[in-house]
Amino acid sequence: MSLAGKTVLMTGGGTGIGAGCAVALAEAGCKVAISGRREEKLKEVADSYSGENPILYKTADVACRDSVKELFDWANKELGQIDILVNCAGINVVKRTMEEVAPEDWDKLMQVNATGAFNTMHAVLPQMRERKDGLIINISSIAGVRANLLGGVGYVASKFAMTALGTFVGQEEKDRGIRVTNVYPGEVETPILDARPNPVGAEHRARILQPSDVASLVVSIAMLPPRAHVPDIVIKPTTQEFF
């Protein structure tokens, strides 16, 4: 199915997977708007794309409901409607074991990774219900499918919450023509690696997934006809274990 003319709102669009998905969807013909907390990063992505439809951007904090409301008011005005929502905003912290994690970091991880996705989905669903059509893609993590020590206790818990949120909403809204897909990437070369307790070298970064790999998958999901739904999908580096 052609994506020409489809509208996309992408959270976490200033770096990493979000930036890669924004460019890929724009190249596929979508009119794309990105959001994030750092305007300079959003501007870099927008300026890097020279296609027919410019990538629009606006700063927003998905953990703040007032900020989300402002974002959607702006996006609805600029895009006309939101056909596709991609939730890509996500963070992690350096001290991430149960022994070390600070309670305030736990709260921050849950607010951004889980509640942030709830806030944006809650904001977009009324218009999708009215049209009986819409696609929501949640960029989760394999840490939201299998608890692992690498992600840390707060990150894993927040991604499990995001998984449950997407699964529940997908079941609840399917008869209204709304599809929700949870994408579970393994290791990806993104700035979130900078929050690793142990530094990640260049060789390792080159071996794992690149943002463009996940972006290709997202475009493929978006191109499916409304009758076809991918509830969950894992994408990981060939060499990464998953069990």
Rg of the Cα trace of the chain? Answer: 17
d(CA 239, CA 243): 13
CA distances to 133, 162, 221, 230 from 227, in Å? 11, 24, 12, 10
- Give the integer Cα–Cα distance in Å for 27 and 101: 40
155 is catalytic: yes
* Burial profile 79-100: b = 16 or more Cβ within 10 angstroms, e = fewer: beebbbbbbbbbbbbeebeeee
- At 49, which amino acid appears? Y
CA-wise closest residue to 209 among 241, 236, 172, 239:
236
Q: Which residues are catalytic?
A: 155
